[in-house]
Structure 1
Amino acid sequence: MILFSAQKSHPLYPLARSLRLDILEMINHAGFGHIGGSLSSVDILISLYNSGLFNFDKDHFILSAGHLCPSLYVVLAQQNKFPRGELLTYSQFDSRLQGHLNLDTPGVEYASGALGQGLSFACGLALGDKSHHTVCLTTDGEHNEGQIWEAIAFANKYHQGNLINIVDCNAYQLGGSTADIMPLDELAAKYIRFGWTVTTIDGHNFFELESALKKAKSSTIYPACIIAKTTIGKGVSFMENKFEYHDVKDLPEDIYLTAKNELQKY
């Protein structure tokens, strides 16, 4: 177990602070957005795009839970796919950065919509391009959808060793906790029964993320699943573990300023 103070020594840690601030700014400027899951998933994406393990000019990334797009947008801007200033056009008319992913956005391969479809799309990419890796990011709440389980079975049947599914397990969704709405008891065991290799980690720990991605990439026969235990609203104390912050609209100025102050000290 790595203490939080030690985690701060990781070279990617400063990005965790700055990109969280970018997420807050773009959602506050737009007047709405899915802030809780964006803050829970951003560390996963920071590690994925900055670990040096993948080349997403050749490898593929699919964000199945498209409402988490603010976390992807800030990372794509950090990767110079478009100017950082464009983040403030989020969800505006004619912007390339809409509230759900679309193919006008540089670095995006999948136009998102209904939950549960992205892993199936990722399976198709992995089947069609066996020379490169396909990485998909899903959520625990998204596993309420039956189509995800069809894709999980498909990936095993076709021995998709070039497929990695990362599950952002923040324990909450729009209407409450996943435990209350549709429990995902023994999620790791379920994936294992479907023939996947599974690693469970702290999804905010860059050391664990890096290690899990290396392990998943080394799996050449079986599809790999990384179950990333995360915290909804991570970095803002009053948003953490509160499903009410799954999405927000018109943040009051005092709430925005308090959140900004906390993230500046993250």
Structure 2
Amino acid sequence: MNQQLSIIGVPMDLGQNRRGVDMGPSAIRYAGVLERLEDLKLRIEDLGDIDISRPDRHNTQKVDNLRNLQEVAEGSIRLAEKVDEVVNKGSFPLVLGGDHSIAMGTLAGIAKHYENLGVIWYDAHGDLNTGDSSPSGNIHGMPLAVSLGIGHEKLTNILGYSPKIRPENIVIIGARSLDEGERVLIKEKGIKVYTMHEVDKMGMPAVMEETIEYLKDHTDGVHLSLDLDGLDPNEAPGVGTPVMGGLSYRESHLAMEMLYQSQLITSAEFVEVNPILDEKNKTASMAVGLMGSLFGESLK
């Protein structure tokens, strides 16, 4: 994995309707991410936060059942341009969210540099909704569909190209809350999904071994998109859309350790930390701990 690391914060909370997740990047920094990664002898630059505009409070109606469409699209473009710059100079982009809608910008900035970018989507949700299928209109439930080229053109065409990724290059891990439209799309596109049923039945080592084997032979880079609601809310309470019965912190550490050993990961983002809903910054601290494992921290 690249030893030069560029950290980008994205204080985005417009992809959903609960305030607080815009403070996620600050909470993760406060939890010591810079110090933790510097201890691993990584060369780190913190590029600060992307500027996110706020919608006019008198004009917050949904457009095509999409909440805050214009502002989310603008923020995604700014993020995509910054990520593109980071990859161009040969640095590893580490993006701190913010709600999961930011993945549209992250992937737009990364995927143009790869022929076959793989994606590990570590999440309780599939994030494969569209304006037509979404019960809420929240764009943080749509970034994976958008990156496949499915959805509103203001989102699918970020940086002027679409799609960003192919369905056969995606692995979703930890899913336990899928809307009907997402289930249909998963079957239609043949997307590989390890639900909590598979994780419990197979065990995390087998899930990660299969994931690494599946991606390593036909991708030229792999992006990790880790939503903290993939973890069980009893352990990671500071998230906006908690779903019981999730992955444990220990299982997640093992997953990150195995990804480090595989040397497959070429970019990453950690999203949906909401300090307002957290307990003493516990969830942000977990995010930092998982980053440590992803970048090679060990007890030996």
Give TM-score, length-normalised by structure 2.
0.38
